[in-house]
Amino acid sequence: MTSTLVINAGQYSERGVKSANEDACGIRVPDDPLLTTKGVAAVIADGVSGSAGGREAAESCAQGFLSDYYSTPETWTVKTSGQRLLGALNRWLYGQGHRRFDIEAGMITTMSAVIIKSATAHLFHVGDTRIHLLRDGELECLTRDHQTWAAGQTAFLCRAMGADANVDIDYRSVPVETGDVFVLTTDGVHEYVKLRELRLLLSSEQEEPEDSCRAIVTRALENGSDDNVTCQILRIEQLPHQDRHEFYQHLTELPFPPPLEAGMILDGYRILQELHASKRTQVYLALDTDTGDKVVIKTPSVNFDDDAAYIDRFLHEEWAGKRISNPHVLKVLKPTRRRCFLYYVTEYIEGQTLRQWMNDHANPSLEDIRRIVKQISVGMRAFHRMEMLHQDIKPENIMIDGHGIVKIIDFGSTHIAGIQEIAAPIERNVPLGTLDYAAPEYFLDQPAGTGADLYSLGAITYEMVTGKLPYGGPLTERSLTRVSYIPARELRSDIPAWIDGALRKAVHKIPAKRYAAMSEFLYDLSHPNASFTSKQPIPLLESNPAGFWRGTAAILLLLNLILVYLLAR
């Protein structure tokens, strides 16, 4: 049986000596698949007593965090999900506080949250609530209080949710181990139960977390706490570590389909013809016998029926496709019948690939090129908004239907940030796509961002304009220092200098020197950028790298000869 994340959690809160409890807390342990893709979440909040809506602010913060976090895309990293939703919660609290209470201190609260996903704990923190970690008998506070001290040694909060339109949220991630205990407390607890005493109260592993929380809260009150008192405990009982055999068994719950031929029926799909076959996959045109619609079925190759990494990638192609809904991205269809084999179904696009279009249009107009590039960029942005990189943008992976609608297809190389956070006994380094359009950072083993997809789009645009690649061929680690950008105007004289400048910037070898956003590239393809038309000297290393290195070698040789002469005197 494949192991999953198991957490024993509890919480307890009291108003203490105060008339009302302005603390709030919550824990959510979802079922799979959310347990795997999003993890377990716990949040604690302490409404600021000086704010008119402190209690409501704490409750809204705790409840909103737990509900909204699980509504964020599974493709997002925990950090992205947490920071975006907390930013939105903060703006809501700030706005509501001003509208409803008409004072500066309307709805203000502190908060701390822990999300445990796979084998990592992700911490978010604002204010003076605290998160502690007990490991191997040692108790450590993982957060710092956001306080400032005034005359008379009085502490004031300098950061809190709802205090300003923008908030700076502390974030950190911590690898977790089985037996780790996370403890979240409000200041009514940790100001009256010091670390040593708190560690002693947590020492019994046999005690249920809720009982431990109650004991800690009771001790804080016994020690004279005059505030609300709240405590949460999460104990890691089991981590989702799998061995390769368990992982493979999980992946192969469905067998590979047999070789398919026209006329055969697979789970209610009648095979019409084979569209494409490679050593890795087969693609068929099929008819859904229930609806009469034409669809495409993609099946894995039997050559890899014992390759866990291959099967994992194939499953994630469908997983990624189902989470993108965009008119310029191939639609992966949800199965309406029980599947007996491993495959997935997509919409059928009746048209041609961009490669075929380029073969038919050897000298396309700039307007046609802009129309196609704009649609590709819309599809790419759909990936990027979901924290996914396509990583294999090429003419063969772009379809144009009979109405001129452009769609990105094939998700086999897609990098999914949220999935990369999930521990697995296999390497999830996605295979590099076609080398002709791959960004230089892939060859240098550097982290790739959205700029890598932009490079691919820039290379495709350059090829549509000139019929060639911007560096004469595919880049490699060895060729990076030897080749230079070939100006598009050398290959097509009717291209304006500002178009050439936009292409040069889009495919720059250095990621930081490319466009920061795809919209900037699109704008410069349609509007003359003055910086591309002014006469600016091009560095010799870029304009003539071979000449640069020959000159450097000659200078070094001359210096060595001079040094030998001086030593011989």
What is the CB neighbour count within 10 angstroms for residue 62?
22
pLDDT tier for residue 433 given thresholds of 50, 70 and 90: low
C-alpha 317: how far from chain center: 16
Which range (5-19, 32-46, 203-217, 240-254) has the least confidence?
240-254
Is the pLDDT at 558 greater than 90? The verdict is no
Q: What is the pLDDT of residue 542?
A: 55
pLDDT of residue 444 exceeding 90, the answer is no
Q: List the single range of 95-109, 320-334, 375-389, 541-555 with lowest mean pLDDT.
A: 541-555
What the block records as the tokens of 501 is 């400048």
Q: Which of the two residues, 77 and 546, has the higher pLDDT score?
A: 77
Query: Which two tokens mark 119?
Result: 């084998």
What is Dmax (Cα atoms) for the chain?
96
Q: What is the pLDDT of residue 432?
A: 57
What mean pLDDT is predicted for residues 486-507?
95
Nearest to 312 by CA among 155, 389, 427: 427
Q: Is pLDDT of 551 > 50?
A: yes
Residue of 385, 361, 384 lying closest to 372 (CA atoms): 361
Residue 15 pLDDT level (bands cut at 50, 70, 90): very high
Superfamily of domain 351-534: Transferase(Phosphotransferase) domain 1 (1.10.510.10)
pLDDT reported for residue 479? 87
Q: Is the pLDDT of residue 356 over 80?
A: yes
Q: What is the pLDDT of residues 97-142, one digit of tens each?
A: 988 887 767 899 999 999 999 999 999 999 999 999 999 999 999 9
User: What is the tens place of the pLDDT at every residue in 206-252?
Assistant: 689 999 999 999 999 999 999 999 999 999 999 987 666 766 677 77
Phi, psi of 316 (to 5 degrees): -75, -20
Q: Identify the pLDDT of residue 1.
A: 41
* 85/402 Cα distance (integer angstroms): 41
Contacts of 121 (CB under 8 A, 6+ apart): 114, 115, 133, 173, 174, 175, 176, 180, 182
Hey, what amino acid is at 58?
A
Q: Which of the 8 DSSP states describes residue 342?
A: S
Question: What does the pLDDT read at residue 546?
Answer: 61
* pLDDT of 543 above 70: no
User: What's the sign of the alpha-carbon dihedral 504, 505, 507, 508?
Assistant: positive
Q: Write out pLDDT tens, residues 456-493.
A: 999 999 999 999 999 999 888 888 888 999 999 999 99
Kindly state the helix (H) or strand (E) to which residue 504 belongs, with its residue range. helix 497-506
**How do residues 249-301 score in pLDDT, each as one tens digit?**
777 789 999 999 999 999 999 999 999 998 889 999 999 999 999 999 999 99
Token readout for 238 is: 């089991």
pLDDT grade for 5, boundaries at 50, 70 and 90? very high
pLDDT of 547 over the 70 cut: no
Please report the pLDDT score of residue 52 as a whole number.
87
Q: Residues 69, 87: contact at Cβ < 8 Å?
A: no
Q: What is the pLDDT of residue 536?
A: 53
Neighbours of 36 (CB within 10 A): 17
- Taking domain 245-347, whether its CATH number is 3.30.200.20 is answered by yes
Average per-residue pLDDT for the chain: 91
Residue of 142, 173, 174, 144 whose CA lies nearest to 159: 144
Distance CA 504, CA 523 (A): 14
Encoded tokens for 193 = 């139960």
Measured distance CA(287)–CA(283) in Å, rounded: 13
Identify the CATH homologous superfamily for domain 6-241.
PPM-type phosphatase domain (3.60.40.10)
Specify the pLDDT at position 416.
93
Q: Exposed/middle/buried for 101, CB within 10 Å: 0-12, 13-18, 19+?
A: middle
Burial class (CB in 10 A: 0-12, 13-18, 19+), 307: middle
pLDDT > 70 in the chain, percent: 93
43 has a pLDDT exceeding 80: yes
Query: pLDDT tens across 357-409, in order?
Result: 999 999 999 999 999 999 999 999 999 999 999 999 999 999 999 999 999 99
pLDDT tier, 504 (very low <50, low <70, confident <90, very high otherwise): very high
Q: Where are the domains of the chain?
A: 6-241, 245-347, 351-534, 537-569
The H or E element containing residue 13 is strand 6-14
Q: Give the tens place of pLDDT for each residue, 138-173.
A: 999 999 999 887 655 667 889 999 999 999 999 999
Angle at 77 between CA 74 and CA 81, to 5 degrees: 80
pLDDT in tens, 333-346: 998 899 999 999 99
CA distance 212 to 134: 13
Closest by alpha carbon to 307, among 431, 416, 199, 208?
A: 431
CB 233 within 8 A of CB 34: no
Pick the closest to residue 189 from 136, 89, 93, 112 (CA basis): 112
pLDDT at position 563 over 80: no
Measured distance CA(80)–CA(436) in Å, rounded: 32
What does residue 156 show for φ and ψ, rounded to 5 degrees?
A: -125, 145
Of the candidates 403, 413, 409, 324, the residue with the CA atom closest to the CA atom of residue 371: 403
Residue with tokens 């445990």: 116
